[in-house]
Chains A and B, each alone.
Chain A
Amino acid sequence: MGLRFKILSGFLILAMMLCVAGAWSIYELSAMGTSVKGLLDENYKSISAARIMTEALEREDSALLLLLSGNRKEGRDILKAAEISFSNGLTTAKNNLTIPGENAFVEKIEAAYKRYSDLWKQPIVGTDLERNLDWYFEKVHPAFLGVKSEVEYLMTLNDRTMYHTAMDLQGRAHRAVMPGIVAILASLVFSIVFSFLINHYVVSPIIRITEGIQGFLRTGQPVEVNIETDDELNRLMSSIRELLATVKREK
């Protein structure tokens, strides 16, 4: 195997170690970016939508109490605004189905909300239902708690996914940094081994050949340098031996 190939292979190995580590770090960093985007776009949006829905539900519950106490206008105004707010939140959640099973949660919220809103969409003020607290506690309040708990399930699902994504991010950050550290350390050790081998198999034989030739020139002693490898240096040594033998013969 030629010297050129050996030296080239050393540098190629170094380059390969650094390039692969770099490529891997870039991959992990871009994957981290995707995870962060997912975290913000998908989970955070759903959590925010769930918060809006919970707030709207609380306002609807207060509005219902106003209706029960006979405040029709104020109660209906609040209900109308809260209903719009709830449906906005629900639409956001519907358009952001990113977790397996999330669709089922949203459908359950929709069904539970329909049951709840059907109760207060009927006239209350001026009917038997006004000041009817039994109706509120037996029908309306359980329906309200039902929708609220469905919204909380959606929030918990997204919270959990967010936690897992954050954990995954931690792992990805580790995997983005470590190849660099390992590559630097491996390259350092490899450089030392490479230098040692170059010194042993290339530099030292050249020094010994040079000393041998100088010795021949001074004393005429034959050059005896043992080259272990079968490469250009071995062939150089053979040529020098032939040259010196010719020189000696011609003298």
Chain B
Amino acid sequence: MRPHVVFRYTGLVLLLNAVFLFLSCAVSALNSDTALFPLIYSGMISALFGLFPILFVPPTKEISNREGVTIVIASWLLASLAGTIPYVLWGGEFTFTNAWFESVSGFTTTGSSILNNIEAVPPGLLFWRASTHWIGGIGIIIFVLALIPTMGKTGLVLYRTELTSLAAENFHYRTQKTLQILVFVYMGLTVAETVGLLFCGMDLFDAVTHAFATVATGGFSPKNLSVAHYNSVAVEGVIMVFMVLSGMHFGLLFVAFRGKHRELWGSLVVRYYLSALVIGVLVTAWDIHAKQYPHWPEALRYAAFQVISLGTSTGFATADTNVWPQFAQLMLMFFTLQCACAGSTSGGIKADRLVIFWKSFVKRISKIRHPHAVITPKLDGLLLDGELIETNLLYIVLYVVIVFLSTAALSAFDVDLLTAFSGSAAVMGNVGPGFGAVGSMSNFSQIPDPGKWILSITMLLGRLEIFGLILFLTVKSWR
């Protein structure tokens, strides 16, 4: 492996960071807030660290799989580290541990926060906080959907669940074109949501920061009460629509935007994802109606927002789900584990993997019934061979094991079991809020410092599963 090549390409990520840090400086200057110097200095450091390797290291045509994966992992780690600098420099509630947690939570699009008083943070820094989501989100879609297909067989085998529909597009387009498509969809969704929220009466700053957090399925809000602050059905409606859209495969969204709606509705994963959300909303509304909300419209409104928010791994809140009945909490926990579709910015196990799991289960039952039958299950045109099913199962098992280990580690630091488990599941799925001390209307500030480090590692594992963990486990296939 050539470390200088890794320096060059991770430098590009730092440059993207620098662009957003300087944009945040502009926001800070417009508001004359105290975050201006921390943002300028952080932007300068990111820009210099990003530019310098580009000056020294000439561009390389060939990047090996190992280098590619190292670049991805290093990019996430370095971006997160650079992202802590403005927080640490500004101070307030940000100790180094808190700043690291907030930064990792932003870049991994988790949306868990340590801030007790978000509104005390200057606007420039809040803009940077929202930008970390947006950068993390675009990083996910570029690496997963545009760069991984260029990695050859290894990449394709491991990431087939992520590539189902865009892989076909890649045969027609070069990576450059695919990148343009993805960036177009991502930016288009961001602009459309910003305009939608402006129409609902939000100011520009709040609209942009919420759009950044929604499209990246992040969940950072500049308000202490999250979306509940606005108490507006229109605002909640717009955010819900964009949360659902951002949870879908971006390739499929692009195809649908081009007028081929049939491909979107024809996808079994999309049909499952939408059906699960609708059923989840109805069942949750049924449970919280009367017990928590006396009227049906109220119950439906809050159930819809919370289920969609967790079911797309966004993590915004309009209600304190800690006081909801246990069955409703269990429903929310299911969506915290499942989340949305592969090929989106969403985290979690993902709807695709559950559908593949179900198909492989049905195949196994059929094989028991008809031992000599040749059964080849398919998912949206993708042949589900043994290798793919095995990878899928391995992933689900590993996912649960990591959540369990994180829960155990947190419990060792005297965190209660509900908080430890729901917090671990929420950060592993890059969802954000859990239950107990880390509920939808609270934050992670009460978790002891070692617990915050455990949770930030879990966040990174949840985000990098696709790039790092499985690829490292399959080290032989690199050769």
Which positions in A face B, CB cutoff 8 Å? 1, 5-6, 9-10, 13, 16-17, 20-21, 24, 27-28, 171, 174-175, 178-179, 182, 186, 189-190, 193-194, 196-197, 200-201, 228-230
- Tell me, in angstroms, the Cα distance from A174 to B99 when the chains sit together: 14
Q: Could you say which of A9, A182, A189, A197 contacts B4, with CB atoms under 8 Å apart?
A: A197
Chain B residues at the A interface, C-beta cutoff of 8 Å: 3-4, 7, 34, 37-38, 41, 44-45, 48-49, 52-53, 55-58, 85, 88-92
Contact of A13 among B7, B41, B48, B92 (CB under 8 A): B48
Whole-angstrom distance between the Cβ of A82 and the nearest chain B Cβ: 44
Task: Contacts A196-B4, A197-B53, A201-B56 given; indicate if A17 touches B89 (C-beta within 8 A).
Answer: no
Residues of A contacting B55 in the complex (Cβ-Cβ under 8 angstroms): 1, 5-6, 9
Known: A6-B55, A17-B44, A175-B38. 19 other contacts (CB 8 A): A16-B44, A16-B48, A17-B48, A27-B37, A28-B37, A171-B34, A175-B37, A182-B45, A182-B85, A182-B88, A190-B49, A193-B7, A193-B49, A196-B4, A197-B4, A197-B7, A197-B57, A201-B56, A230-B58
Query: A28 to chain B: which residues have CB within 8 Å?
Result: 37
Residues of chain A within 8 A of B41, CB atoms compared: 20-21, 24, 179, 182
- With CB as the reference atom, state the residue of chain A lying closest to B81: A189
Inter-chain residue pair count (beta carbon < 8 A): 70
Q: Which 6 pairs from chain A and chain B are nearest by CB?
A: A174-B91, A197-B56, A13-B48, A178-B89, A186-B45, A171-B91
- Give the nearest-CB partner of B37 in chain A: A24
Find the A residue at minimum CB distance from B47.
A13
**Which chain A residues border B88 with CB–CB below 8 Å?**
178, 182
Q: Which residues of B contact A182 (CB under 8 A)?
A: 41, 45, 85, 88-89
- Chain A min CB distance to B80 (Å): 15
Task: State A51–B366 Cα separation when bound (angstroms).
Answer: 90
Contacts of A175 in B (CB 8 A): 34, 37-38, 89-91
Q: Which chain A positions have C-beta within 8 A of B92?
A: 171
Which has the most chain A C-beta neighbours within 10 Å: B37, B45, B88, B92?
B45
Q: How far is the CA of A190 from the CA of B14 in the complex (A)?
A: 14
Q: Offer 27 A-B interface pairs, CB within 8 angstroms, sorted by A.
A: A5-B55, A9-B55, A10-B52, A13-B52, A16-B48, A17-B48, A21-B41, A24-B37, A27-B37, A28-B37, A171-B34, A171-B92, A174-B91, A175-B34, A175-B38, A175-B89, A178-B89, A179-B37, A189-B49, A190-B48, A190-B49, A190-B52, A193-B52, A196-B4, A197-B4, A197-B53, A201-B4
